[in-house]
Amino acid sequence: MSQHVKRLEQAIGVCLLERRPRGVVPTAEGLVLRQAATDSIVGLDQALRRLTELARDGVGSVRITTGAITVRHFMSEAVIAFRRRHPAASLELRTKTSSRTCFESLAAGTVDLAWVTIIAPLRGIEQRPVVELPWVVAVRADDPFARRSALTAADLARLRPILPPENSSSRAHLNASLARLNVTPGPDSGTADWDSAVLLAELGIGHALVPALPGWQSVDVANTPLRFLPVPELPPLVVGWAVRQWETLGPLAREFAETVVRHCEAR
């Protein structure tokens, strides 16, 4: 192995490993080569999975990573439809706490699809927007703000905000939008997910500033404890699919992704 590495170093003219008394560690150049090799191995693994699915006529698995509430709000109908068409296929849903960790799983090749907040382009990852989610403020029906039909950016500074977690992509999007509007919200209560934020608003803890998830608007009627007030000045949050390469995605994974898109568009 040492001779192979030495010949490779001589061929490309850089040092790949740093020799130390207790072993070796990769140099910066070695890390670049290791990442390239990892990409190739992951790509090969995905190709083999796709060939296996084609040979077994739809029998295989789809590995998906996303946040804990995504299945309820975006995928439940698609999961039912997919299972009816492919009863022998396996759906593996792996929940993560943020889009960042979803991207990491995707890059490592441990999942086929990731449902994420769409962000700036990432090397080696393809993103496809599916849904735009306007920002809304969830307030109790007895709150003074509940008499309004919408809120302005200036109103946000007067809220007792319940915001997405600091390390989430949705929070980064929200912070950037508020900064562009020169709005500084008051001290906020953090929460792990959007459903929890809405629950805290219902309990009177504060005002939940959240994306308008499918199904929430249907509860905004006179006999419910909550109102969802739009904030038109905030640009919507965009969510959708991320994959390593759509071209190499297996037929089952591609079909599931397209099924989710169709059900989202039909709402």
Average predicted confidence (pLDDT) for the chain: 84
Task: Report whether pLDDT(7) > 80.
Answer: yes
Cα dihedral 138, 141, 142, 143 in deg (nearest 10): 20
* Closest to 251 (Cα-Cα) out of 108, 106, 80, 61: 61
Task: Report whether pLDDT(216) > 70.
Answer: no
Residues with Cβ within 8 Å of 67's Cβ and at least 6 positions away in sequence, in order, are: 95, 96, 97, 98, 99, 102, 115, 193
Instruction: Look up residue 71 and give its DSSP letter.
Output: I
The pLDDT value given to residue 219: 46
pLDDT of 81-130, one tens digit each? 999 999 988 899 998 878 889 999 998 889 999 999 999 999 889 999 99
The sign of the torsion formed by the CA atoms of 68, 79, 210, 65 equals positive
Task: Report whether pLDDT(21) > 90.
Answer: no
Task: Report whether pLDDT(203) > 70.
Answer: yes
pLDDT of 133-177, one tens digit each? 999 999 999 999 999 999 998 899 888 999 888 888 888 999 999
d(CA 217, CA 73): 12
* Closest to 238 (Cα-Cα) out of 100, 133, 127, 98: 133
pTM: 0.76
DSSP alpha helices (H): ranges in 56-127? Answer: 70, 76-85, 99-108
The token duo for 262 is 């169709």
The pLDDT value given to residue 67: 84
pLDDT of 46-88, one tens digit each? 655 555 655 555 567 899 999 878 888 999 999 999 999 999 8
